Amino acid sequence: MLEPQKPALRITRCFTEALSAYASHFPTLLLGLLLAILIGFLSLTFLLGSLFAGFLVMLLHAMEDRHIKLGVLFSPARHFFRFFFIPWFILIGSVGGLVLLGLTIAAADSGDGFRVLNFANPTPLIDALQRKMPLNDLNRILTIMKIRWVIFVPVLAGLAYGAFQGLTLLVKCFYIFILAAHRDLPMLDAFVESRNAVKRYGFCKHLAIIALSWLIIATSVQLSEGTPDRES
């Protein structure tokens, strides 16, 4: 018996449909985005999560070519605590392991872990990183900084594992805001649905979408800063 075909997610289609939605409803979406940023910071970021979710619903309506109402921006605020805790859930889940690992090492009785984090003498390390250090240079740097390999290797492995787990959780939360707002799901239910959707359509494709989105944002910020003034 043939297995059902796995649904396809085309990255180019995601960006083209999003850009088309922005172009077709640009004034309303721009106004909604500016209001979300302004009110979010005026509320000391307490409403930022619910306003972000509302803006995503507005964008979804635009992609469905539906009439957009600014009131949609504020509708998720009815579930204030849900959208207040979602960003903390993502943040703590993504970097909490790294922070816990760092605190554990810093509290070690030997003090070696603290030196791993504090880098009392970072100059040799920075110089070597800039020169793409060979292994013998790393050994010399650790000797200068009085860090033993037996401490350095587990710490490095723990940091790498924590970063991987944090990135994995971040990707799994790809749809959590839109599901919590559009389908009115509690936070944990929205996370489960988001995780299943990422698994269904492909983890690497979602990771690529996030990376490309951040690249576009970073490039836009660099371009908005403009070129340095030329001396006459």
pLDDT for the residue 166:
85
pLDDT for the residue 232:
42
The answer to which of 55-69, 116-130, 137-151, 215-229 has the lowest mean pLDDT is: 116-130
pLDDT in tens, 51-84: 999 999 999 999 888 888 899 999 999 999 999 9
The answer as to whether 101 is a domain residue is: yes
* pLDDT band at residue 34 under the 50/70/90 scheme: very high
If asked whether residues 204 and 119 sit together in one domain, one would say yes
The answer as to whether 89 is a domain residue is: yes
- What is the arithmetic mean of pLDDT over 116-140? 53
Domain boundary residue, one of 40, 73, 106: 73
The answer as to whether 105 is a domain residue is: yes
Distance of CA 143 to the CA centre of its chain: 36
If asked whether residues 113 and 202 sit together in one domain, one would say yes
If asked whether residues 20 and 126 sit together in one domain, one would say no
- What is the arithmetic mean of pLDDT over 152-157? 69
The answer as to whether 42 is a domain residue is: yes
Domain boundary residue, one of 31, 52, 73: 73
- pTM of the entire structure? 0.72
If asked whether residues 88 and 180 sit together in one domain, one would say yes
If asked whether residues 85 and 136 sit together in one domain, one would say yes
The answer as to whether 139 is a domain residue is: yes
pLDDT for the residue 186:
94
If asked whether residues 175 and 104 sit together in one domain, one would say yes
What gap in Å lies between CA 168 and CA 162, rounded to an integer? 10
Q: 15-19, 49-53, 217-221 — which one is most confidently predicted on average?
A: 49-53
Distance of CA 86 to the CA centre of its chain: 13
pLDDT at 118 over 50: no
If asked whether residues 66 and 84 sit together in one domain, one would say no
Give the total number of structural domains in the chain: 2
The answer as to whether 3 is a domain residue is: no
- What is the arithmetic mean of pLDDT over 158-176? 86
The dihedral through the CA atoms of 219, 220, 221, 222 has a sign that is positive
If asked whether residues 96 and 68 sit together in one domain, one would say no
* In 173-202, alpha helices (H): 176-182, 187-201
If asked whether residues 105 and 192 sit together in one domain, one would say yes
Domain extent, residue 173, equals 80-214
Q: Could you identify the residue written with the tokens 């490039």? A: 219
Phi, psi of 65 (to 5 degrees): 60, 40
The answer as to whether 100 is a domain residue is: yes
Domain boundary residue, one of 45, 73, 101: 73
The answer as to whether 230 is a domain residue is: no
Give the start-end residues of each E strand in the chain.
none
